Amino acid sequence: VAHCEADVNNNTPLEVTTKTPAPEFKWHIFWEFVKPQLFPLMGAVVLAFAAAILNIQIPLMLGNLVNVVARYLREQTGNYVQEMRGPALKLLGLYGIQGLLTSGYIILLSRVGERVAADMRKTLFASLLRQDVAFFDANKTGLLVNRLTSDIQEFKSSFKLVISQGLRSITQTVGCFVSLYIISPKLTGLTVVVLPCLVGAGAIFGSFLRKLSRLAQEQVAKATGVADEALGNVRTVKAFAMEERELQLYAYEVDKSCEMNEDLGSGIAVFQGISNIALNCIVLGTIFAGGTLISSNEMSPGDLMSFLVASQTVQRSLAGISILFGQMVRGLSSGARVFEYLSLVPTIPLSGGRRIPYPSLTGRVDFINISFSYPTRPGQQVLSKFSLTLPPGKTVAIVGESGGGKSTVASLLERFYDPTSGVVMVDGLDIRSLDLTWLRGQVIGFINQEPVLFGSSIMDNIRFGKPEATDAEVINAAKQANAHGFITGFPDGYSTVVGERGATLSGGQKQRIAIARALIKNPFILVLDEATSALDAESERVVQEALDRATTGRTVLIIAHRLSTIKGADLICVMSNGRIVEAGSHLELLAKGGLYSDLIRRQRAEGKK
């Protein structure tokens, strides 16, 4: 519990300070999604409206029927069946048409709702994928995924509900009130006084219940979060023998949610009980008051029947409207959250710009006078006046203390971010003038050696580097990356599905698949961001062998977190405080006796420990 509360305390102030005002619902964006579905939507509206009108007619027809029955009972003459047949058949017909209209509008409306939601999902996903890396630094992926799933779901349900129920409830309320008035102005007067009071009280009680329900739901989500974290990190939980404690944490949250849901249940029970009594009393009161009117011949029994049914319809409709109102508010805020990122234009466009024709492409890279801070942390200057040239076909390594800005250099070459000042050039052209999809997709190969694999087959994971690659190309790339051997050793070979994030492979195997994935696009420039965690000696040897093969004939930038692997580099640059302080070959730098030789000495000492 303590750990949980500490979490809450830590998070709350942060969230408060970073919370931006709630996004607004933009009707013009909504219109763009609705426009293609306009005809079915209008159809649905017309059908729903017609169904509602029929619903108003039905009480009146019921009244006619009752009048026939009453007359027959009173006079005991004529043919009952014959007299009933006309109105009964008409009523049956109305029921039939009403049913058809109802199915019709539900079919159309769910079609509209689903298509609008699917369109929104696709558009939002596309828009999210288009955003810069900086956007993802600033936004939690969990929350983004929520917008794609629950927010769109909520919006869709509200949209469908507001149109179908809203239209029906309003039409019926108005229509039935008119019929009530026509049937008996006196009784209607009475209802007009009583009903709104009841509905108002119901609405207040209802909003209280909804609040309880929301709190209970949040509590359930909190409990689920605890379970999710424990199951998701089950290895850590087991390694620390924390099963008991996790169970306690979960049990505490579950018990709390159980209690809240029980309270909610009791609240609903009381509400239902009281409203049943109230509604039944209304029926009784109406019959009582109607009875007096009948006895004074101001009303027929059939009218009373019509009145009862119509007033019930009004009650139901009014209750529906109050629920709908809450739903509409929730729907609009969900919609606003969905739309917020739709109109967000990334600062780094994915396409457009020049492509250098292959015969003249050399793969030279220049970083010129670059200063940079991350957009999420503008106060911290990571690079200052950083300059570096990667000559075509040469291997350049950057070393230096952890946190010194080495990986940042690689991110700038990939154009994950634009420098605050200075330029990055490929073949003498500012990369901001180049087509980014081409640059990332075909020119630069990026091997992050703590690689992320997707939960699909090994074949698909390698092909991720070049979607149009043939199986033979995939196998060839795997061979170059020293991966073919272990892949064919698996029972399913290249079809082996790697677990979530590659959990079923060893570190060295994942790295080699990542190398194959980068090699398959045959890049001119290769960026290796080395793993910070060490591999065992044997894995390191095969991975290194694969890398040596991969780097020949390419311009290579190695971000070295360990020094053992870069002795053969053409140029080694030592970074400190966001700029290069030493450069030269391994031997030159050792001879110089500066920072590099310090680093080497320190790593050797650590290795011996």
The only residue of 21, 357, 359, 403 in contact with ligand ADP, by rule CB under 6 A: 403
In 3-state terms the chain splits into helix, strand, coil percentages (rounded to 5) of 70, 10, 20
Q: Is residue 405 within the footprint of ligand ADP (CB under 6 A)?
A: yes
* Cα 307 from Cα 265, distance rounded (Å): 34
Tell me how far, at minimum, the Cβ of 163 lies from ligand ADP, in Å: 44
Q: Is residue 533 within the footprint of ligand ADP (CB under 6 A)?
A: no
Nearer of residues 184 and 407 to ligand ADP, judged by Cβ: 407
Distance of CA 519 to the CA centre of its chain: 33
Tell me how far, at minimum, the Cβ of 403 lies from ligand ADP, in Å: 4
Part of the chain binding ligand ADP (CB under 6 A), chosen from 113-121, 250-258, 396-404, 439-447: 396-404
Residue entry with tokens 């509206």: 45
Tell me how far, at minimum, the Cβ of 416 lies from ligand ADP, in Å: 9
Nearer of residues 401 and 473 to ligand ADP, judged by Cβ: 401
Count of residues in contact with ligand ADP, rule CB under 6 A? 13
Nearer of residues 307 and 374 to ligand ADP, judged by Cβ: 374
How many other C-beta atoms can be found within 10 angstroms of the C-beta atom of residue 184?
Answer: 21
What DSSP state is assigned to residue 297?
A: T
Q: Is residue 377 within the footprint of ligand ADP (CB under 6 A)?
A: yes
Binding to ligand ADP (CB under 6 A) within 128-187 occurs at: 137
**Residues 49 and 164: beta-carbon distance below 8 Å:** no
CB-based contacts of 502: which residues, under 8 Å, 6+ apart?
A: 451, 452, 453, 510, 513
Segments in 447-568 forming alpha helices (H) = 458-463, 471-480, 484-489, 507-519, 537-551
Nearer of residues 283 and 581 to ligand ADP, judged by Cβ: 581
What are the backbone angles phi and psi of residue 370, rounded to the nearest 5°? -90, 130
CB-based contacts of 352: which residues, under 8 Å, 6+ apart?
A: 435
Residue 180's alpha-carbon distances to 188, 496, 505, 580, in angstroms, are 6, 71, 74, 87
Nearest to 397, CA basis, from 602, 605, 596: 596
Tell me how far, at minimum, the Cβ of 517 lies from ligand ADP, in Å: 21
What are the backbone angles phi and psi of residue 50, rounded to the nearest 5°? -60, -40
Nearer of residues 247 and 581 to ligand ADP, judged by Cβ: 581
Part of the chain binding ligand ADP (CB under 6 A), chosen from 75-83, 274-282, 399-407, 431-439: 399-407
Part of the chain binding ligand ADP (CB under 6 A), chosen from 221-229, 403-411, 474-482, 494-502: 403-411
Part of the chain binding ligand ADP (CB under 6 A), chosen from 251-259, 309-317, 398-406, 495-503: 398-406
**Residues 23 and 340: beta-carbon distance below 8 Å:** yes
Q: Is residue 376 within the footprint of ligand ADP (CB under 6 A)?
A: yes
Per-residue x/- track, 345-374, ligand ADP (CB under 6 A): -----------------------------x
Nearer of residues 33 and 135 to ligand ADP, judged by Cβ: 135
> CA angle, 502 as apex, 499 and 506 as ends, to 5°?
115
**Residues 346 and 132: beta-carbon distance below 8 Å:** yes
Nearer of residues 48 and 382 to ligand ADP, judged by Cβ: 382
Part of the chain binding ligand ADP (CB under 6 A), chosen from 71-79, 361-369, 401-409, 458-466: 401-409
Q: Is residue 402 within the footprint of ligand ADP (CB under 6 A)?
A: yes
Part of the chain binding ligand ADP (CB under 6 A), chosen from 60-68, 329-337, 395-403, 446-454: 395-403
Structure token pair of residue 86: 């006309």
Nearer of residues 21 and 378 to ligand ADP, judged by Cβ: 378
Residue 56's alpha-carbon distances to 25, 51, 306, 321, in angstroms, are 34, 9, 10, 17
Nearer of residues 320 and 405 to ligand ADP, judged by Cβ: 405
SS3 call for 235: helix
Q: Is residue 379 within the footprint of ligand ADP (CB under 6 A)?
A: no
How many other C-beta atoms can be found within 10 angstroms of the C-beta atom of residue 390?
Answer: 22
* Cα 522 from Cα 193, distance rounded (Å): 81
What are the backbone angles phi and psi of residue 466, rounded to the nearest 5°? -160, 90
CB-based contacts of 43: which residues, under 8 Å, 6+ apart?
A: 104, 105, 108
Nearest to 90, CA basis, from 64, 115, 67: 64
Nearer of residues 214 and 377 to ligand ADP, judged by Cβ: 377
DSSP 182-208: HH-HHHHHHHHHHHHHHHHHHHHHHHH
Nearer of residues 470 and 532 to ligand ADP, judged by Cβ: 532
The only residue of 257, 327, 408, 511 in contact with ligand ADP, by rule CB under 6 A: 408
Q: At residue 10, what is the residue type?
A: N
Nearer of residues 446 and 524 to ligand ADP, judged by Cβ: 446
Q: Is residue 18 within the footprint of ligand ADP (CB under 6 A)?
A: no
**Residues 589 and 572: beta-carbon distance below 8 Å:** yes
The only residue of 156, 168, 364, 406 in contact with ligand ADP, by rule CB under 6 A: 406
Nearer of residues 152 and 574 to ligand ADP, judged by Cβ: 574
Nearer of residues 403 and 467 to ligand ADP, judged by Cβ: 403
Q: Is residue 382 within the footprint of ligand ADP (CB under 6 A)?
A: yes
Q: Is residue 266 within the footprint of ligand ADP (CB under 6 A)?
A: no
Tell me how far, at minimum, the Cβ of 404 lies from ligand ADP, in Å: 4
Per-residue x/- track, 100-139, ligand ADP (CB under 6 A): -------------------------------------x--
Tell me how far, at minimum, the Cβ of 400 lies from ligand ADP, in Å: 6
How many other C-beta atoms can be found within 10 angstroms of the C-beta atom of residue 560?
Answer: 20
Structure token pair of residue 529: 């961001």
Per-residue x/- track, 277-316, ligand ADP (CB under 6 A): ----------------------------------------
CB-based contacts of 96: which residues, under 8 Å, 6+ apart?
A: none
Q: Is residue 337 within the footprint of ligand ADP (CB under 6 A)?
A: no
Task: Sort 193 into a burial class: Cβ within 10 Å, 0-12 / 13-18 / 19+.
Answer: exposed
Q: In what order do the strands lie in the sheet with 365-372?
A: 383-390, 365-372, 421-426, 429-430
Q: Is residue 404 within the footprint of ligand ADP (CB under 6 A)?
A: yes
SS3 call for 121: helix
The only residue of 64, 188, 407, 509 in contact with ligand ADP, by rule CB under 6 A: 407
Residues at the contact surface with ligand ADP, assessed by CB under 6 A: 137, 374, 376-377, 382, 400, 402-408
